[in-house]
Amino acid sequence: MITKKMEAALNEQIKEELGSAYLYLSMVGYFAHEGWDGMAGWMRVQAQEELGHAMRLFDHVVERGGRVKLHSLAEPTAKWASPLAAFQAAYKHEQHITSCIHALVELAHTEKDHAAAAMLQWFVTEQVEEEDHTMKAVQLLERMGKEGRGLVMADRELGRRATQKD
Ligand code: FEO
């Protein structure tokens, strides 16, 4: 059985993960509108991953005899100044998610909830990858993707993520 405190915190994190999917879907719309199909594809994969993260937490709450409570999602930003600005926002968002996960791990230890702590270890590792992927996209855009031909090449490069997953 899960404690009420842990249940509430995991329900909050379900909202964070769904909110991540919502934000990244908004970025898909932005990139697609601007004609950056490669970046739209990259973000679409990312949004799908976030739904998977939410469901991992969802299933854990259910399996532990807890009650899932879904919260309202904030309306995400719909427009960014540039593709680089959008990826910078995504990188900053992933750093925020990492701090949420670390706070959850600490709570699991305080609550002596070893099952939640074990489940959350997957997220600790995943966040290293999440930050790395978004940071590398930012670096790529900084180096070659400010405008013109370089940006077209960066779009093509980032779009490879979508075709690799398909
Ligand atoms: Fe679910 Fe991108 O962290």
- Residue 163: its pLDDT value, please? 78
Q: Where are the domains of the chain?
A: 4-165
- Residue 144: its pLDDT value, please? 86
Minimum CA distance residue for ligand 1 atom 1:
50
Distance 149 CA to ligand 1 centre (A): 31
Averaged pLDDT, groups of 10, the chain, 166 residues long: 96 98 98 98 98 98 98 98 97 98 98 98 98 97 87 95 71
Question: pTM of the prediction?
Answer: 0.95
Inter-axis angle of helices 83-110 and 37-63, nearest 10: 10
Cα radius of gyration (the chain): 17
Distance 148 CA to ligand 1 centre (A): 31
Whether residue 155 has its Cβ less than 6 Å from ligand 1: no
Q: Which atom of ligand 1 is nearest to the CA of 17?
A: 1
Q: Side-chain half-sphere of 36: how many Cα atoms within 13 Å?
A: 29
Helix (H) or strand (E) holding 59: helix 37-63
Q: Which CATH architecture has domain 4-165?
A: Up-down Bundle (1.20)
Distance 20 CA to ligand 1 centre (A): 7
Contact partners, residue 157, CB within 8 Å, separation at least 6:
38, 140
**Cα(66)–Cα(6) distance, rounded to whole angstroms?**
9
Whether residue 16 has its Cβ less than 6 Å from ligand 1: no
Q: Which atom of ligand 1 is nearest to the CA of 49?
A: 1
Distance 64 CA to ligand 1 centre (A): 22
Backbone angles phi, psi at 139, to 5 degrees: -60, -40
